[in-house]
Amino acid sequence: MSSSQSPFRKLPARYAPIVMPLLLSLLMTCIVSVISTLRGIGPGGFPQVWLGAWGLSWLVAFPVLLLVLPVVRRLTMLVVRAD
């Protein structure tokens, strides 16, 4: 298998507007919930509390990202020069 081949079938490009916020919300909520959970309760009981916190935060973050990402793109274009 060459380096350009993927081990799985790729989705069509039309799914990019859903996949990008999905991956972004998974990663960001994971990082933020790890930090806030560790700070709040310490390492004791961490896995169970963290998974609940991550799940809830992702359930909120993903739809919010779907709604605000177009606005953020427009705002970005107001402050970034197109080359």
- 83 has pLDDT over 90: no
DSSP codes joined into one string, 18-72: HHHHHHHHHHHHHHHHHHHHHHHH-STTHHHHHHHHHHHHHHHHHHHHHHHHHHH
Which tokens hold the place of 71?
């606005």
Q: What is the pTM of this model?
A: 0.75
Mean pLDDT of 48-61: 93
pLDDT tens per residue across span 33-42? 999 999 999 9
- 1 has pLDDT over 90: no
Mean pLDDT of 9-24: 92
Burial grade of 24 (CB within 10 A; 0-12, 13-18, 19 or more):
middle
